[in-house]
Amino acid sequence: MLFPMKSSAETDMAGLAKGLMEYAQKLGADYAALLYQEEDSGSITVENGELKVFEAGMFLGLGVRVLVEGALGLASSTTFNPRILRESVEYAVKMAKASKGSIETVALAEAKPLRVSAESPWKKSPNDFSDEEKLKLVLETNKAASLEGIVSSTTRMGWLTEKRIFESSEGARVETVLHMTGLAHYAVAGFEGHMEAVSDSKSQCSGFEFITGTDWPEFSRKTAEVALEAVKARAPASGNYRVVADPDLVGLIFHEAMGHASEGDLEAAKESVLEGRLGEKVASPFVTIVDQGVVEGGYYFPYDDEGVEKGRQVVIEEGFLRGYIHSRSSAHKLKASSTGNARSQGFGDKPLVRQTNYFIEAGDSSLEELLEDIDYGLYLCGRGARGGEVDVGQGTFTFNAGPSYVIRKGKLAEMVRGVSIGGMVLETLKQVSAVGKEVTIETSIFGACGKEGQRARVGHGGPHVRIERMAVGGRA
Amino acid sequence: MTTDLASLGQRLVRFGEKLGADEVEVYIEESKSRGVTLVGKVEAFGSSHFTGLGIRVVNGRRIGLSSTTSLNIREAEEAVRRAHSIAKVSEPIGDWVSFAKNTGKMSVEGVFDPALQKLPPETMSEAALEMVRMVREQSTGLSITRGGVLTGIRTVTIVNSHNQALERRESYASASISVTTGDGDAKGVSSESDVTRSWRDLDAVGVCHRASQRAVNAGKARPIPSGTIPVIWRNKLFAGVLSIMFGGTLSAEAVQRRRSPWADKIGSKIATDNLTLIDEGLMAGGIGTREFDDEGVAQRRVPLIEEGVLMGCFYDTLTADKDRVESTGNASRGYDSAPRPAPNNLSLTPGTASFDETVKETKNGLYLEELIGVWLSNPISGYLSATVANAMLIEKGELTRPVKGVLVSGNFFEILRGGVDLIGRDVDHAGNSYSPTVRVASMSVTTQ
Q: What is the DSSP string of B193-224?
A: EEEESSTTT--HHHHHHHHHHHHHHHHH-B--
The pLDDT of residue A179 is above 90: yes
- Regarding whether B187 and B233 lie in a shared domain, the answer is no
CA distance B445 to B227: 5
Range of the domain at B144: 3-215
The pLDDT score that the predictor gives to residue A256 is 87
Q: What is the CATH number of the domain that holds B145?
A: 3.30.2290.10
Give the Cβ contact number of residue B130 at 10 Å: 15
Sign of the CA dihedral with A228 first, then A233, A238, and A244 last:
negative
* Residue of B36, B45, B118, B146 for testing the chain A interface, max A β-carbons within 10 Å: B45
- Touching check for A238 and chain B: CB below 8 Å? no
pLDDT in tens, B287-323: 999 999 999 999 999 999 999 999 999 999 999 999 9
The pLDDT score that the predictor gives to residue B280 is 98
pTM: 0.91
Closest residue on chain A to B87 (Cα) = A54
- Regarding whether B380 and B314 lie in a shared domain, the answer is yes
B125 CB neighbours in chain A (<8 A) are: 95, 98-99
- Touching check for A271 and chain B: CB below 8 Å? yes
The helix (H) or strand (E) run that includes residue B393 is strand B383-395
Residue B118 burial (C-beta neighbours within 10 Å; 0-12, 13-18, 19+): exposed
pLDDT in tens, B219-268: 899 889 989 999 999 999 999 999 999 999 999 999 998 888 999 999 99
CA distance B301 to B347: 10
Provide mean pLDDT across the span B74-102.
94
Phi (first) and psi of residue A65, to 5 degrees: -120, 135
The pLDDT score that the predictor gives to residue B75 is 92
B34 CB neighbours in chain A (<8 A) are: 91
| pLDDT class of B67 with cuts at 50, 70, 90 | very high
The helix (H) or strand (E) run that includes residue B175 is strand B163-181
Residue type, B283: M
The pLDDT score that the predictor gives to residue B380 is 83
CA distance B152 to B171: 6
Comparing B331 with B382, the larger pLDDT belongs to: B331
Query: Which residue, B192, B215, B238, sits at the end of a domain?
Result: B215
Closest residue on chain A to B389 (Cα) = A391
| pLDDT class of A6 with cuts at 50, 70, 90 | low
Provide mean pLDDT across the span A2-13.
60
CA distance A140 to A318: 47
- Regarding whether B241 and B207 lie in a shared domain, the answer is no
B85 CB neighbours in chain A (<8 A) are: 131
Strands B433-447 and B406-411: antiparallel
For B332-366, the DSSP string reads E--TTS--EE--SSEEEPP-SB-HHHHHHT-SEEE
Find out whether B12 and B176 touch, Cβ atoms under 8 Å. Answer: no
- Regarding whether B286 and B207 lie in a shared domain, the answer is no
Phi (first) and psi of residue B150, to 5 degrees: -135, 135
Find out whether B439 and B422 touch, Cβ atoms under 8 Å. Answer: yes
Q: What is the CA radius of gyration of chain B?
A: 24
pLDDT in tens, B198-216: 999 999 999 999 999 999 9
CA distance B409 to B386: 7
Over chain B, what is the mean pLDDT? 94
Phi (first) and psi of residue B275, to 5 degrees: -105, 120
**Strands annotated E in A69-211:** 71-77, 115-119, 150-168, 173-191, 194-204
Find out whether B159 and B53 touch, Cβ atoms under 8 Å. Answer: no
Q: What is the CA radius of gyration of chain A?
A: 24
Write the DSSP symbol of residue A129.
S
Comparing B365 with B446, the larger pLDDT belongs to: B365
The three-class DSSP label of residue A425 is helix
pLDDT in tens, B254-280: 999 888 899 999 999 999 999 999 999
- Touching check for A270 and chain B: CB below 8 Å? yes
* Cα–Cα nearest to B70, from B81, B59, B79: B79
Window from A232-236, A311-315, B84-88, B185-189 with minimum mean pLDDT: B185-189
CA distance A63 to A359: 31
In sequence order, the 6+-apart residues with CB closer than 8 A to the CB of A228 are A147, A149, A150, A189, A191
- Regarding whether B143 and B11 lie in a shared domain, the answer is yes
| pLDDT class of A475 with cuts at 50, 70, 90 | low
Closest residue on chain B to A106 (Cα) = B43
Residue type, A81: N
Which residue(s) pair with A50 in the sheet?
A47
Write the DSSP symbol of residue A123.
S
Query: Which residue, B166, B198, B215, sits at the end of a domain?
Result: B215
The helix (H) or strand (E) run that includes residue B18 is helix B4-18
Provide mean pLDDT across the span A79-86.
85
- Regarding whether B419 and B290 lie in a shared domain, the answer is yes
The pLDDT of residue A126 is above 60: yes
Q: How many helices (H) and strands (E) does chain A have?
A: 10, 26
Percentage of chain B surpassing pLDDT 90? 80
Closest residue on chain A to B47 (Cα) = A75
Q: Do B43 and A72 touch (CB under 8 A)?
A: yes
- Touching check for A103 and chain B: CB below 8 Å? yes
pLDDT in tens, B164-196: 999 999 999 999 999 999 877 788 889 999 999
CA distance A71 to A74: 10
Half-sphere exposure of B359 (CA within 13 A, CB side): 15
B78 CB neighbours in chain A (<8 A) are: 6, 58
Give the Cβ contact number of residue B125 at 10 Å: 22
- Touching check for A195 and chain B: CB below 8 Å? yes
CA distance B196 to B33: 14
Going from the C-alpha of A288 to that of each of A248, A324, A361, A393, A463, the distances in angstroms are 17, 13, 6, 22, 11
Residue B425 burial (C-beta neighbours within 10 Å; 0-12, 13-18, 19+): middle
Find out whether A412 and A418 touch, Cβ atoms under 8 Å. Answer: no
Surface of A (57-86) touching B: CB under 8 A: 57-61, 71-79, 84
| pLDDT class of B1 with cuts at 50, 70, 90 | very low
The pLDDT score that the predictor gives to residue A5 is 55
pLDDT in tens, A245-254: 999 999 998 8
Q: Do B90 and A135 touch (CB under 8 A)?
A: yes
B51 CB neighbours in chain A (<8 A) are: 78-79
The pLDDT of residue A1 is above 70: no
Residue A10 burial (C-beta neighbours within 10 Å; 0-12, 13-18, 19+): middle
Number of domain units in chain B: 2
A400 CB neighbours in chain B (<8 A) are: 376
Residue type, A384: G
pLDDT in tens, B9-26: 999 999 999 999 999 999
Q: Is the CATH number 3.30.2290.10 carried by domain A7-230?
A: yes
Q: Do A102 and B51 touch (CB under 8 A)?
A: no
CA distance A406 to A413: 5
What's the start-to-end Cα distance of chain B, in Å? 63
Over chain A, what is the mean pLDDT? 91
The gap from C-alpha B21 to its chain's centroid, in whole angstroms, comes to: 35
Give the Cβ contact number of residue B94 at 10 Å: 8
pLDDT in tens, A224-264: 999 999 999 998 988 899 999 999 999 998 898 899 999 99
A143 CB neighbours in chain B (<8 A) are: none
A59 CB neighbours in chain B (<8 A) are: 68-69, 336
- Regarding whether B227 and B202 lie in a shared domain, the answer is no
The pLDDT of residue B99 is above 60: yes
* CA torsion, ordered A67, A68, A71, A76, to nearest 10 deg: -60
ipTM: 0.87
What residue segments make up the domains of chain A, in order of their start? Answer: 7-230, 239-473
| Å between B158 CA and nearest CA of chain A | 18
Find out whether B340 and B316 touch, Cβ atoms under 8 Å. Answer: yes
Find out whether A59 and B75 touch, Cβ atoms under 8 Å. Answer: no
Please work out, in degrees rounded to the nearest 5, the angle formed at the alpha carbon of residue B406 by the alpha carbons of B404 and B407: 135
Provide mean pLDDT across the span B42-49.
89
The pLDDT score that the predictor gives to residue A163 is 96
pLDDT in tens, B363-392: 999 999 999 878 777 888 888 888 888 999
Q: Do B46 and A393 touch (CB under 8 A)?
A: no
Provide mean pLDDT across the span B125-152.
91
- Regarding whether B228 and B175 lie in a shared domain, the answer is no
Closest residue on chain A to B71 (Cα) = A79
- Touching check for A12 and chain B: CB below 8 Å? no
Query: Which residue, B149, B182, B215, sits at the end of a domain?
Result: B215
pLDDT in tens, A279-292: 999 999 999 999 99
The pLDDT score that the predictor gives to residue B2 is 59
- Regarding whether B175 and B302 lie in a shared domain, the answer is no
